[in-house]
């Protein structure tokens, strides 16, 4: 189990969160592979959201709901 996977498990089981989101810069394709591999869905892109070194960057937001995460873990 990856570190991100463990953090998601803690969020859903220990903290009782209902939704978890991972945000990545649109240009950062390598970072986008992580939530995709974990089964998170890419619902939207937020334009000019993050201020990185004085430049506002577009971000993509990946989300997964607790029931989706638990169901995909059962199937795996």
Asked whether residue 54 is assigned to any structural domain, the reply reads: yes
75 within domain boundaries: no
> Which residues of the chain have a pLDDT value below 70?
1, 49-52, 74-76
- For 33-61, letters b (16+ CB in 10 Å) and e give ebbeebbbeeeeeeeeeeeeeeeebebbb
Indicate the number of domains in the chain: 1
What's this model's pTM, rounded to 2 decimal places?
0.81
Flag whether 65 is in a domain.
yes
| Residue 59 DSSP one-character state | E
C-alpha–C-alpha distance, residues 66 and 14, integer Å: 12
pLDDT for position 45:
77
pLDDT of residue 50: 60
Check if the beta carbon of residue 18 is closer than 8 Å to that of residue 65: yes
Contact at 8 Å (CB) between 5 and 38? yes
């Amino acid at each position: 189990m990856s570190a991100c996977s463990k953090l998601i498990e803690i969020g859903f089981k220990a903290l009782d969160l209902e939704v978890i989101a991972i945000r990545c810069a649109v240009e950062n394709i390598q970072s986008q592979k992580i939530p995709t591999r974990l089964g998170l869905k890419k619902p939207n892109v937020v334009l000019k959201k993050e201020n990185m070194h004085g430049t506002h960057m577009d971000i993509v937001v990946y989300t997964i709901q607790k029931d989706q995460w638990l169901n995909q873990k059962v199937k795996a």
